[in-house]
Structure 1
Amino acid sequence: MLKKNYIAKDFKPNKNQTQLIMKKFALLLFLLNVSFLFAQKEISGVVKDNTGNALPGVNIIEKGTQNGVSTDMNGSYKIRVKEGAILVFSYIGFSKFEKMATEAIINVTLSEEGGQNLDEVVVTGTRTAPRSNTTSALPIDVLSSKDLTSTGQASFDKALQYKIPSFNTVQTPVNDATSLLDPYEIRNMGPSRTLILINGKRKNLSSLLYVQTSPGRGETGADISAIPTDAIERVEILRDGASAQYGSDAIAGVMNIILKKNSGNGAVTVRSGITSEGDGEMLGVSLNNGTTVGNKGFLNYTIDFSKVKLANRPGTVDGGTTNLGPDDKPLSGGEYADFIYVDPNDPDNYVDGATRASIMADNTSGINQINNFLAEKPDAGNINGSPETTAAKFLINGGIDLSESTQLYYNAAYVYKKVNSFANYRTPYWRTLDPANPYLADFFGNGTAASYKGYVPTFTGDLNDYNATLGYKSEMNGWNTDVSITTGGNKQVYSVENSVNRSDLQDENGENIYQENSPITFQPGGTSFNHIVGNLDISKVLSDKISIGFGSEFRTENFEVIEGDKASWDGIGADSFAGNRPENSGRWNRYNLGAYFDLAYDVTEDFLINGTVRHEEYSDFGGATVWKLSSRYKFLDDKITLRGSLSTGFRAPTLHQIYTQKAQYSFVAGQGIQVSGIINNVSPQARILGIPKLDAEKSTNITVGIGAKPSKNFNFTVDYYNIKVEDRIVLGDRQDTQFGNVAWFSNSFDSRTSGLDVVANYNNIGLGEGKLGFTLSGNVTLQNERISDVTNNSFGPILNALMFTSRPETKWILGANYEVGKFGFSVNNTYFGKTTFKQDGLDSNLRTEFTPKIVTDLGITFSATEKLTLALNVNNLLNVLPEWKFKAENAAGTAILNDAAQVKTQSNLITFNQRYSQMTYDGYHFSQLGTMFNLSLNYKF
């Protein structure tokens, strides 16, 4: 009997035997290949959406296997599968589709799903492998481009306002620099605590620091309104603290804007609109298209031009004898003694009511002048609402496969905006001619007293915003590497016209430098911010249970305050908006280096644990180490998902907050327009006052939620969040010091914000020949308040209200959409809950509440052909306007409300004598423009 190893050990074939063996072996391989080929078949085709657009990046998987491909830039695919295989087609924002592979060519049309799909794959919220919403441990909203355009809103930020309940933004009553960028926030946390990403890379901050007494005071954020909506494929909003994953600014969450990638099937969209009042006309045109680059690359580009005209909503000014102008301030007494007034013969001098009455009795033009002016201009010439805005936006997004495992990608955007707004009208009884200012009649009239009707300074802002990313991705032995460099910047420069420098400065010859020699056009300067960010991200799926990710980020930041021309800041400066003084202007910079490590462990198919740790070092205030732990558990065949996270976070003070020092004009109730200042924390003045330098905010974030998909067409999520912020950075109250009436930033106190987020969808309900779908989403604020004593600053009830109660305490969006034939109908009802203010000058025994309102939006689309679609949106269909009323804090407040005269006095104080009757001087909770009609035409190439 032969030994087992006999052949291998002792048999030595000769040359002919060797050739025979090789031939038989080759024949065997051929037969195996033939049988394999006969057992498999090649399937090819094209995947499109229901409007005929090709869909690149669609995943096609042979069901039950790991065999899969993705569609190319033209929506084409090719895959080899076994006989009898089932192909599964899936794409973010579209219904999953399965097809038996019985034909050689299978073309597929995917239908868009309405609302959030728990099975959508998201790339936000993890630094390891992407996961679906079901398998993610974090709450993430996904909005498609269709979701955004269906709102009919003119800009990206306003579209989010009517799609995401925890997202709020509104135009401030007094515009000036704020007209270039409205403050926005998620979960009432301020604009600086939401990190904005574009294709996963950090977007630059705006250079604007909000300093007006309005929501968002003391904050800055990225200009998301600058992003053209037609360039967006989808938006992923992570509603959870993510500093450990993404760094500073992610305390409230992360918004990741994913750009379109299609290389063909472009479209041009023409939009027009107008308000029911016949103003605010809007006209815009946008082109989105793409092209292939070589055989393996794509380039998508968007060009967007728009112009929105002024929509003016002034109030009717109260012309009573005790309400003569915005420089009035309260005093107890009789009819004329209710106020201290500006002396009409000396605008820089205040007199009591009796003296004023005597003066005006002697002044033949006094009361008659006021009444005559208000008869001609009942709104006192005031202009407030939505300013005229012109914008040009350009964006590209591209990539090219260098090999099967490497890719070069890039994107870039440039935006120019020009905004024209107005300051408060300087009425002739406020800025009087005699005896100090007779030259005003020459500047704003024909030189005669009768021709002088006062003047309204204009404010023009020019904004330039850009961002660009160049990156390289590779996959080798399962290791995914992503290296990128990102740059971005924002610059704003201002112009003030129809104004004057009223300073009584004189030259060496005793001649006035300003007053009658003043220019009427000023260049008050501006601000600029830019950053450069380098990222290295590496990830690998180590096994079917463990995946890791790690990387680093290097960032440099530069902030500049641009000096204004001398006439704009010298003396008291330009009326309405004083320029940046030389000593307050300059350039500042810093850098930081961060590193993170992320580990995801699938304990079982249903149970996931994810942990992240991050450390960052800043050149100006030191380092911070934060961490995050999250988990998810699925059961009942993935119908129920429990999820939760616990994390720490941080937010570095912005360069704007550290270095801004300026004199500003602002309204002080009862004292009119006053000049006050902001001193920065690194100034000699700050050292004298004992103000410490700013440090980072620290946070602890807890999120617990449940996601459920009881059926194919019904899903919902409910998430509870609790955010504690320590050493919160705030711009405090103005205080009288040896340096004048000034305010400053400080790490002032700790705060806590908690609430609930709810999202529910029910789709594909058969109704007649069409399908009906419903969405319900809401945010409820349970707690939003200061939880510690105030240090290093003064923080009164006015700022407390602006920070904690000036956004809706609850907001809900109930929508329905119905598609039948070529028509689509949608109705959205947005419920804005109560907001509360404590305006400057308001009696301490009162508060101001904006009552809850429901804003209804109607949308109708008509697909005339496969290429042409018409859409009509009627926003605020029922013309609902903000409405506020006084509420008593106590018995003393009740007594005030029972006295009509006192109520009138309080109302005049906080509305600038009814100039801002709808919204008060500090703000409101949704747009005051009323019904808006928007019509768009979309033509696909």
Structure 2
Amino acid sequence: MSFRHTQAHPGRALLAFSLVASLGLPAAAQELPSGDVQTVLVTGTYAKNRRTSDSESPVDIIGARELQASGSSELATVLGRVLPSVNFPRPSGADASDAVRPAQLRGLSPDQVLVLVNGKRRHASAVVNVNGTLGRGSAPVDLNAIPIAAIDHIEVLRDGAAAQYGSDAIAGVINIILKKGAKGGEAEIGYGQYKEGDGESVTLRATGGFDLGNGGWLRLAAEAADRNPTNRAGPDLRNPAEPRYGKVNQRFGDPDTKPRNLFFNSQLRVNDDIDFYAFGNFGQRKTEAAATWRTALNGTAQRTPLFPEGFLPLQDSTSIDESLTAGLRGAAGAWRWDVSLDYGSNRFDLNIHNTVNQDLKEKSPTSFHLGKLTNTQSVFNFDLAREFAVPGLSGPLTAAAGVEARRESYEIEAGDAASYSGSGSQGFSGFRPVNAGKNSRNNKSIYLNLEAPFTRQFSGALAARHENYSDFGTTTSAKASARYAFSDAFSLRGTASSGFRAPSLAQQFYTITTTNFSIINGVNTPIETGTFAVNSTAALALGAQPLKPEKAKNLSLGLQLQPFRNFSTTVDAYRIDIDDRILFSANLILPDALKATLAAQGALVGAARYFTNAVDTRTKGVDLVSTYRVDLANKDRLDFTLAYNHNKNEIVRIADNPAVLTANKLLLIDRQTVNRATVGSPKDKFSLAADYTAGIWTARGLVTRYGSFTVPQNVAAQDQVYSPQWVLDVSGSVKLGKNWKLSAGVDNLTDKYPDQVTSLNNLNNNGINPYSGFAPNGFNGRYYYAKAGYSW
């Protein structure tokens, strides 16, 4: 039995000991586990042996074949290609969002999807996306901290599930199932490069199992990569007097990244009725991302004698991600039980080099430590489940209940004094002592889940969950779902649920003052901008109120068709209503009166922003997934998968503007903020995949159509609507003998780029930034790659 939401253990020493001790154990030789898609679900259900065809909610299962049939080793990139409901753009020049890029499910906020690993709640990243990207204001899980080498398969529940799993499960749940067992292993090296000659990538990954005796096992997975940056910036033609006029000075594209990740998964037999299990990870990712090019001249004066030709500030970040989950599970009579502790932490250490503090002139350092962000989560869970024989039902009633206690903390540490004093370091000013601090909260919850087949055709489930948070009180969620099979070939399913998402500690307490660029009178102008915690005196002076949890209502209705064994289709329509949705406010360009008010409180800024329960939204859409298998001669086969998502977000209500802002002719939630949440992601996405297997050969083709999207501005005439984009990915592989496998492929074979950014009102920064960071497939062009793998 595997339960799905158990958590937390504050044991970094135990994690390190487990990983180090495991290195001396011998590996058992066996063939590589099969990559076929599994059909037994563990997500969204507590019943034993529940299969995808019996599920009352739509669940996508992504196997090893789909995960590895891409040139990318980033998990979020792969999910964005194989799942039409997932959107993963690649922002550039967005500070920390370049290093930790957020993914969306169903066009909602990145932190409105819950991520589990082996059914346990995953901790969020410490990074808050505060620039003008999709997912602005979110602090989601860093999916790219989880190496593909460690994953057996992924289950994506496309349904509200807060009643089952708690906060964040509004858009759905991504449950990452790790590889397990002592048998089998593989090692692989891969190389790739873009057509333009940049973005070279070398990836090494390996996984293997170890026999611990008496049915116990330990499995390790390691992955390391070096990915060079890409650059699609245009030449700088702003000022003929500049020493580097006409040169490409900006770096606009993917950052330079060097991830190193280690995962383990293990199980030990305690006795015939009890197993001990543990899994966790330690990872480090170094990223170098470019800020905005600083010209040599500021007007007619030299900006700094340290860089007489100008300079490009480079942000160096190190993300440290670690987790440990340990627990016991077993049986006591008819009851199945699971008790676990889970600890997770993400630290984001930020530095910058190749820059100056202009106020320090020639005495300025050229490298600065900007500060550190740390997010931690500790969770205890105890879960029970059993089957009851109930007269009149065609099968057993599965009852599950449990309790959870979770503690979270968020900390900001200040940077070097030189990074924030005066004008601060160019490219990103450091966190100041006034920004620094540590905040925490705890919550306790209890849940009940009932599932039963009432007849051979009709099944249903009920779930309820009550939570009590130390910072905003109590909330209760419920869910009802049902499925009716009219025949073996045709069934209907549906769900109705309420849900919630607690405001994250980062959204409540993140604070910094830094230089941002805003379009003022048609000019891209630097301005000191303060991001203030909602309970700070500065935010309160601008009308801030304490954050409330987001409240959601989910409805879905689905159709399942399987007219014959090798063909199946599901169509699921959904509606998600979210009240009091949390957004990051507009950049409030302050008039002199408000500047003076904030200056009296020690905040010397020209603009301000904070988080607020800004809007009520409605999301409507439909998902279609269809599969067809053609059995050929000699056990060859051809598999087709067609998938489609259509999604529409709209605003139902906008919160009243604070009186102090109205009096100063400012809008807390401006047009751009509203429309970014509604039209910034593609309205639809279509994909068709074909997989051909013939003996030792395999081939795969994937064509994807990314639908139209809009990058909004505060003036409607400046909005840009981007055309749909068709992308073709192809790959193939061959097995050489029993153990070797060679693979090669091309992503974006037809070398398609998104539309270029319009020059209207200089939104493309004088042609220097020609593409939008909202583009769902990035803007790097064709990518070639090859891999060599050895399995045992």
Q: TM-score, normalised by structure 1?
A: 0.76
| Partner SS, residue 157 of structure 1 | helix
- One-letter amino acid of the structure 2 residue matched with residue 788 of structure 1: R
**1:801 Cα deviation after fit:** 2.7
Match in the other structure for 2:685: 811
Partner of 2:456 in structure 1? 605
Correspondence 1:825 to 2:690? no
Q: Are the equivalent residues in 2 in contact too, given 1:545–1:604 (CA < 8 A)?
A: no
Question: Matched residue of 2:358: which SS?
Answer: coil
1:928 to 779, 782, 785: 779
**Separation in 2 of the partners of 1:806 and 1:690?**
27
Q: Which residue of 1 aligns with 2:641?
A: 775
- Against the structure 1 CA distance between its residues 668 and 292, is the aligned structure 2 distance closer, same or farther, given a 3 Å change threshold? same
Q: Corresponding residue for 1:518?
A: 364
- In the TM superposition, residue 821 of structure 1 has moved relative to its aligned partner by 2.2
* 1:463-513 CA distance string (max 9 Å, x none): 10011100110112110000000000000011111211123xxxxxxxxxx
CA distance in 2 between partners of 1:430 and 1:863 (Å): 60
The C-alpha deviation readout for 1:306-363, integer Å capped at 9, x for no partner, is: 100111111234x3xxx54xxxxxxxxxxxxxxxxxxxxxxxxxxxxxxxxxxxxxxx
* Separation in structure 2 between the aligned mates of residue 222 and residue 374 of structure 1, nearest angstrom: 41
Q: 2 CA distance for matches of 1:801 and 1:914?
A: 24
Equivalent position to 1:882, from 754, 777, 792? 754
Q: 2:252 aligns with which of 356, 366, 384?
A: 384
SS of equivalent residue, structure 1 residue 131:
coil
> Per-residue deviation at 1:374?
2.0
Task: Write out per-residue CA displacement over residues 7-32 of structure 1, whole angstroms, 9 at most, x where no aligned residue.
Answer: xxxxxxxxxxxxxxxxxxxxxxxxxx
Asked whether 1:409 is paired with 2:277, we answer yes
Kindly provide the amino acid, as one letter, of the partner of residue 626 in structure 2.
A
Whether 1:593 and 2:458 are equivalent positions in the alignment is no
CA distance in 2, matches of 1:576, 1:768: 61
Q: Is the 8 A contact 1:171 1:182 kept in 2?
A: yes
Indicate if the aligned counterparts of 1:145 and 1:230 stay in contact, CA closer than 8 A: no
Quick check: 1:529–1:559 contact (8 Å CA) kept in 2?
yes
Match of residue 147 from structure 2: 228
* SS in structure 2 of the partner of residue 575 of structure 1: coil
Distance 1:666 1:266 in 2: 48
1:741 maps onto 2:599 in alignment: no
Verify the 8 A CA contact 1:173 1:923 in the aligned structure 2. Answer: no
C-alpha contact 1:134 1:641 (8 A) present in aligned 2: no
Q: Is the 8 A contact 2:32 2:791 kept in 1?
A: no
Q: Which residue of 2 aligns with 1:644?
A: 494
2:233 aligned with 1:314: yes
Q: Give the drift of 1:531.
A: 0.7
Tell me the equivalent position of 1:502. 358
Question: Cα distance, 1:923 vs. partner?
Answer: 3.1
Structure 1 Cα separation of the partners of residues 582 and 333 of structure 2: 46
Match of 2:191 among 265, 272, 276: 272
Match of 2:161 among 236, 242, 262: 242
Match of 2:571 in 1: 718
For residue 389 of structure 1, give the secondary structure of its aligned residue in structure 2.
strand
Give the 5 Å matches for 1:242-261: 242-261=161-180
Alpha-carbon separation, structure 2, partners of 1:868 and 1:774: 26
1:574 to 2:425 alignment: yes
The Cα of 1:769 is off from its aligned counterpart by 7.5
2:346 maps to 1:490: yes
Q: Map of 1:110-509 to 2, 5 A cutoff?
A: 113=36, 120-317=39-236, 319=237, 323-324=238-239, 367=240, 369-370=241-242, 373-375=244-246, 377=247, 379=248, 381-430=249-298, 433-434=301-302, 437=303, 440-441=304-305, 443-444=306-307, 452-503=308-359
Report how far residue 883 of structure 1 moved. 0.9
Alignment of 1:851-862 (within 5 A): 851-862=723-734
- The answer (yes or no) to whether the contact 2:232–2:770 under 8 Å persists in 1 is no
| Contact 2:756–2:770 (8 Å) recurs in 1 | no
Q: 1:787 aligns with which of 616, 629, 652?
A: 652
How much does 1:128 deviate?
4.3
Selected match of 2:504 from 654, 663, 675? 654
Q: Given residue 497 of structure 1, which amino acid in structure 2 is its aligned partner?
A: H
- Percent identity reads 30
Aligned to 1:55: none
Rounded Cα–Cα distance in structure 2 between residues aligned with 1:459 and 1:484: 39
SS at match of 1:787: strand
- Contact 2:73–2:147 at 8 Å: present in 1 too? no
C-alpha displacement of 1:585: 0.8
Q: Helix, strand or coil: the match of 1:845?
A: helix
Q: CA deviation at 1:130?
A: 4.8
CA–CA separation in structure 1 for the residues paired with 2:143 and 2:35: 25
CA RMSD of aligned residues (A): 2.0
Aligned ranges 1:852-931 → 2 under 5 Å: 852-884=724-756, 904-906=759-761, 909-919=762-772, 923-931=774-782
| AA of the residue aligned to 2:500 | F
Contact 2:94 2:131 (8 Å CA) reproduced: no
Q: Secondary structure at the match of 1:225?
A: helix
CA contact (8 A) 1:431 1:454 kept: no
C-alpha distance in structure 2 between counterparts of 1:193 and 1:494, whole Å:
26
Conserved 8 A contact 1:127-1:550: no
Q: CA deviation at 1:516?
A: 2.6
**Does structure 2 retain, via aligned residues, the 8 Å contact 1:746–1:792?**
no
* CA displacement, residues 826-867 of structure 1 (integer Å, 9 cap, x when unaligned): 100011000101246xx4323201110111000111111121
Compute the displacement of 1:129 (Å). Answer: 3.6
Q: Secondary structure at the match of 1:172?
A: coil
Matched letter for residue 822 of structure 1: I
Answer yes or no: is the 8 Å Cα contact 2:729–2:745 preserved in 1: yes
Offset of residue 685 of structure 1: 2.3
Offset at residue 403 of structure 1 (A): 2.1
For residues 728 and 749 of structure 2, what CA distance do their matches in structure 1 show? 6
Relative to structure 1, the CA distance from residue 424 to residue 432 in structure 2 (aligned partners, 3 Å threshold; closer, same or farther) is farther
* Among candidates 721, 732, 744, match of residue 849 of structure 1: 721
> Do 1:469 and 1:484's aligned partners in 2 also have CA atoms closer than 8 Å?
yes
Contact 2:757 2:771 in 1 (8 A): no
* Alignment-mate amino acid for residue 472 of structure 1: L
- The 3-state SS of whatever aligns with 2:127 is coil
Query: Which is further off, 876-885 or 203-212?
Result: 876-885
Q: Is the 8 A contact 2:95 2:289 kept in 1?
A: yes
For residues 409 and 596 of structure 1, what CA distance do their matches in structure 2 show?
23
CA contact (8 A) 1:545 1:603 kept: no
Q: CA deviation at 1:797?
A: 2.0
**Runs of at least 4 residues off by over 6 Å:** 73-76, 108-111
- The equivalent position to 2:518 in structure 1, one of 659, 668, 689, is 668
Q: CA deviation at 1:429?
A: 3.3
- Aligned pairs for 1:75-94 (under 5 A) are none
In structure 1, distance between residues paired with 2:152 and 2:634: 31
Q: What is the number of equivalent residue pairs in this alignment?
A: 736
Provide the C-alpha distance between the structure 2 equivalents of 1:431 and 1:562, rounded to a whole number of angstroms. Answer: 35
Q: Does 1:761 align with 2:635?
A: no
Alpha-carbon distance in 1 for matches of 2:284, 2:300: 39
Task: Give 1:884 deviation, angstroms.
Answer: 4.5
The aligned residue for residue 661 of structure 2 is none
2: CA distance, partners of 1:491 / 1:568 = 20
CA distance in 2, matches of 1:695, 1:110: 46
Deviations 1:167-194 (A, max 9, x none): 0112112142112211111001111100
